[in-house]
Amino acid sequence: MIGRLNHVAIVVPDLAAAAETYRTTLGAKVSDPLDLPDHGVTTVFVELPNTKIELLHPLGEGSTIAKFLSNNASGGIHHVCYEVEDIIAARDKLKADGLRVLGDGEPKIGAHGKPVLFLHPKDLFGTLVEIEQV
């Protein structure tokens, strides 16, 4: 069911500094910041030959990652994202197999303009998993 690894998301305390490190020190292609109010984050994508790194920073008071950053002041890996062909079929199979979909269970539009869902980390060995329809 899951396809390729789309990205690994890292929460960072200083988005500009993290983007600059990836751009200048590591020599990567880095996108401009994008605010995603529906998700409570500002995101930057680091393009790699085989996948992407998503740098995340809280956006606003109600950000879903603000608590993560308060518990991990220097940041850290937040989630991994896998591609799926049909997000509704994937959601229904995962739920039938006992996995919990976070939120209301309906896909939201993610940073790539495509539908996404998140799966409970307790169901996937301590890892928050995002699925994204390709």
Q: What digits encode the pLDDT tens for the residues 19-54? A: 999 999 999 999 999 999 989 999 999 999 999 999
pTM: 0.94
- The predicted pLDDT at position 60 comes to 86
Active site residue 54: no
Q: What digits encode the pLDDT tens for the residues 66-115?
A: 999 999 999 999 999 999 999 999 999 999 999 999 999 999 999 999 99
Among the listed residues 20, 85, 106, 130, the single catalytic one is 130
DSSP assignments along 11-68, one per residue: E-S-HHHHHHIIIIIS--EEPPPEEETTTTEEEEEEE-SS-EEEEEEE-STT-TTHHH
Distances (CA, A) of 80 to 21, 60, 119: 21, 23, 10
Residue 31 has what DSSP assignment?
A: P
Q: Closest by alpha carbon to 108, among 94, 118, 100, 95?
A: 118
Which CATH superfamily groups domain 5-133? 2,3-Dihydroxybiphenyl 1,2-Dioxygenase, domain 1 (3.10.180.10)
Over 90: is that where the pLDDT of 61 sits? no
